[in-house]
Structure 1
Amino acid sequence: MTIRRFVSSCVIVLAVALAAVAIAQANEVTKWNNIAVNTVLAQPPITSAPPAAAVFVAMVQGAVYGAVNAIERHQRPYLVTRRFPMASMDAAAATAAFRVLDALFPAQHAMLQAEYDASLAAIPTGSLKDTGVRVGQAAADAMLAEGHDGRQVLPCAFAAGAGVWQPLAGPTGAPLCDPSPWVANGVTFMVESASQFRTDGPYPLTSAAYAADFNEVKELGSLNSTTRTLEQSHIAVFWQSNPAANYNGVARRLAEEQSLGVTDSAVLFAMLDLTAADAIITCWNDKYYWNFWRPITAIREADIDDNPATVADPDWKPLFDPSLDSSIAGVGPALITAPYPDHPSGATCYGSASMHALQSFFGTDEMRFYVTSSRFPGEQRYFDRFSDVPKQLIEARIWNGLHFRNADVQAANLGREVERYIHVHHFASVH
């Protein structure tokens, strides 16, 4: 090979590589995933709180997957039964995402319309584009008709008693209640029902296992703990960031690094977000089934639990203290005990399901990636295995004083079980 031919070949290879990167960066699936997450998280808590956010992001990604799958089918039909092989996947993906978001958040119409117009403007005019738009509309309409948007304000019902969850008073003195309790009875996407999976439940209050968990979080999760390290405190605060942003950010970066096309990206985000949403719906149903008290209440009222190995501390405060009116991290709202029952941990359900979904998509647990947090802008926490995230979450939720270990361990198991069911019944032939 002559030098000229060698250089020409290198130029061609480089051009192809750059084109591949450009395609990955311009991917309509990743673009609209980013728009979806940002749009959802900008809403009031009834919509943007982690459990609700999981549902709304899943509605978008499910519609996108349904549309793309109708054009380049890799799995049984989802939302759209008819196949449309001669259609633009870019147009279908953008239309599906736009129509779902526009229906859910009409106040954001101007911004969404501008993004949608930009997406369509980049697609050549013709029958492929027109058909893609129709496919995207069909997928979005089918998703919206399924009834996943269950937003409603429900009364904050609670009772007193040993082991029973009770809301805490916020800075104003009013009880802090779940902003999105409707998720507990939400319409699932791929599992059979919100109550299909049930954890073993909290340990009996009089058991040695409960006492061990009690004393662990009492020591490590205390606001003024002398045992918890500065690094552990930092990690605890790091993870108090909306999981929808955390894990979709991971998936977008991996999609770009792997130069995934529209089809694979649609599958990736469907596996991630449909799994996460069903895990959260299942988790919330389980939370209100057991209705178990949080460590802050358990420790302050331990004199009624009939366990001689637990000692009450009426003044105990967790690292995330509801009486604080400023953020420990200096970024974002106050870090508080979440206003819903302890068991199982929602954050760990979400993280476990998400990481197992990514593991299933890529076919390996070993993957170098990083997670960001709204609490520490610019910080990148690196991991070498997807399974390392739920392991760290289990510890973080103890270090911040929010959960008993059992609530986190069972949550991790629940997330894994939901992901396994969805993968086997819906995605096994894809990856």
Structure 2
Amino acid sequence: MNTRRSIAIIAAALIASVSLGAAGASAAPPTATNATAVVHWNEVAANTLAAVPGPNGGAPPAYQINMAMTQGAVYDAVTAIGPKQYQPYVLKQRFGAKASIEAAVATAAYDVVHALVSTAPEIAPFPGRGGLLTTLDAQYAASVDAIAESSFKKQGIAAGHAAADAMLQARQGDGRFGPSQWVRDPRAGHWSPLLNAMGQEILDPTPWVGGVEPFLVESATQFRSAPPLALDSPEYAAEVNEVQMIGRATGSSRTEAQTYVAQWWQWAPILAWNEVARQLIVANELSAADSARLLAMQNLSGADALITCWADKYYYDFWRPWNAIPRADEDGNGGTTAEPGWTALLTAPYPDHPSGHNCNDGAHAAVLRMFFGDVVAGGFHMTSTSAALPAGAQRVRTFDTFSQPLSELIDARIWAGLHFRYADVEGQRLGVNVAQYGAAHYFQSVGH
């Protein structure tokens, strides 16, 4: 499957998501309540949860689950106040029409994030936990202290507590930090971990994610990706040969620009896509209700995309290029050639199929398209936090459409030697499918 065909598949799927959004997920006209608190606490939550060590819940799939819990609670807190615009997620209780939305937002976000950080299991050392919580406490105090004392402030705080409590209760026993989903299989076609300098296996810090109860979809298998290409097929041989040449660490046919793009994309997409959402909320002057809805749709869809993706990764257990290329004489395919010692530009500690980055980006971008369309007037910027970028490299880039970063990401993961092309394409398709389902079944306008 060539690049143009890959992009066409994803574009068609995303166009479908736009149609769905127009029917059931478009933003309502702004109300008098602006989105300042929603935007601020999204940024606080994103930055705080990103600081949790990977095995303790800070690795991208677990981090996205934590953001989903936070934004779902914020959505419920806002939705519970004033005229009922949208169906709640888990909170059924209603609060006074004049309750402070700012207090509700701050309290809901603070309660969930504080609970997640304070109860995160210390699988890896977490010396910064105390400082992180102290900073979070100060941020919450600053938010609520800025609101004039009144019964409306108290009602807003009560709404926030209720929304957070409902979310935390709903996620009890949901499979977080459960058993690993990986079953070791030495046969050709199956993933095996790389070794570190001390000869130890480099393993997934959150191998339990595929066993977590989804937020929106019915099960982690509802939108299972198509299986990897057959090892003996000509399509598989073409994909191996592509990544073998361009994805290698040394002697690659990559251009300097392609190397930069591959390195630029080596970061957790949760931070970047929430940043994009905040930009567009401000630029389009969305109300608090519509902003909370957008961020909930985005992050709950993103979480379900990664839960589904991780379930698929360990279901298929498909090998990475650095497994497949040195062992190509075991794949039964005359179109591939074994190259002992082949290494990729970048690596990751879990199976290939489907691409986790593409699953997550596909879901986030699909929701953003539902609200804003594909072409964004004035564009939007994305900031890479990649540790793979050399010092002084440009980190902030601007895009005019959501199609641009999505099509680039498919190629970037191949240029990095991280994935076969089909894993990228299927990842984005999975993300779009999950986001479409979420928009069709949750967050509906009252009376829809």
TM-score range, shorter chain: 0.7 to 0.9
1:10-56 residue CA offsets vs partner (Å, 9 max, x unmatched)? xxxxxxxxxx9xx96x8111111111111111111121111111101
Which has the higher relative contact order, 1 or 2, with Cα contacts under 8 A spaced 6 or more apart? 2
Which SS does the other structure have where 2:398 is aligned? strand
Q: Any unmatched runs of 5+ in structure 2? A: 1-29, 119-128
How many pairs does the alignment contain?
A: 392
Cα distance, 1:156–1:171 mapped onto 2, change above 3 Å: farther
For residue 16 of structure 2, what is the aligned residue in structure 1?
none
Q: Name which of structure 1's ranges 81-90 and 118-127 shifts more when overlaid on structure 2.
A: 81-90
Residues 156 and 178 in structure 1, CA contact (< 8 A), matched pair in contact too: no
CA contact (8 A) 2:309 2:359 kept: yes
Instruction: Tell me which amino acid in the other structure corresponds to 2:100.
Output: S
- In structure 2, the CA distance between the partners of 1:372 and 1:207, relative to structure 1 (3 Å rule), is same
**Alignment correspondent of 2:374:** 365
- Structure ID, larger Rg: 1
1:82 CA drift (Å): 2.4
CA distance in 1 between partners of 2:175 and 2:278 (Å): 25
Displacement over 3 Å in runs of 4+: 152-157, 427-431
Residue number among 116, 124, 140 corresponding to 2:148 in the alignment: 124
Q: Once the 2 structures are TM-superposed, how far is the Cα of residue 149 of structure 1 from its aligned partner?
A: 6.9
- Counterpart CA distance in 2 for 1:49 and 1:275 is 17
* Percent identity of paired positions between Structure 1 and Structure 2: 46
Query: Closer, same or farther in 2 for the Cα pair 1:155/1:420, shift >3 Å?
Result: closer
1:92 and 2:114 equivalent? no
Alignment match, 2:92: 81
RMSD: 1.9
**How far 1:353 sits from its partner (Å)?**
0.7
Q: Which residue of structure 2 aligns with residue 186 of structure 1? A: 212
Q: How does 1:11-410 map to 2 (within 5 A)?
A: 27-46=36-55, 47-72=57-82, 73-84=84-95, 85-106=97-118, 107=129, 108-147=132-171, 148=174, 150-152=176-178, 154=180, 157-320=183-346, 337-362=347-372, 364-367=373-376, 368-375=379-386, 379-410=395-426
State which of 398, 420, 424 in structure 1 corresponds to 2:436.
420
Q: Identify unmatched segments of 5+ residues in structure 1.
A: 1-19, 321-336
Separation (CA, whole Å) in 2 of partners of 1:60 and 1:312: 47
Counterpart AA for 1:90: E
Whole-angstrom CA distance in 2 between matches of 1:155 and 1:346: 15
Contact 1:237 1:400 in 2 (8 A): yes
Normalised by the length of structure 2, the TM-score is 0.84
Aligned mates of 2:202, 2:38 — CA distance in 1: 37
- Matched with 2:15 is none
- CA separation of 1:269/1:149 partners in 2, compared to 1, >3 Å: closer, same or farther? farther
Residue aligned with 2:381, SS: strand
CA contact (8 A) 1:372 1:378 kept: no
TM-score norm. by structure 1 comes to: 0.87
User: Equivalent residue of 1:369, what SS?
Assistant: strand
Asked if 2 retains the 8 angstrom alpha-carbon contact of 1:168 and 1:176, the reply is yes
- Structure 2 vs 1, CA of residues 355 and 129 (structure 1 numbering), >3 Å: closer, same or farther? same
Question: How much does 1:358 deviate?
Answer: 0.5
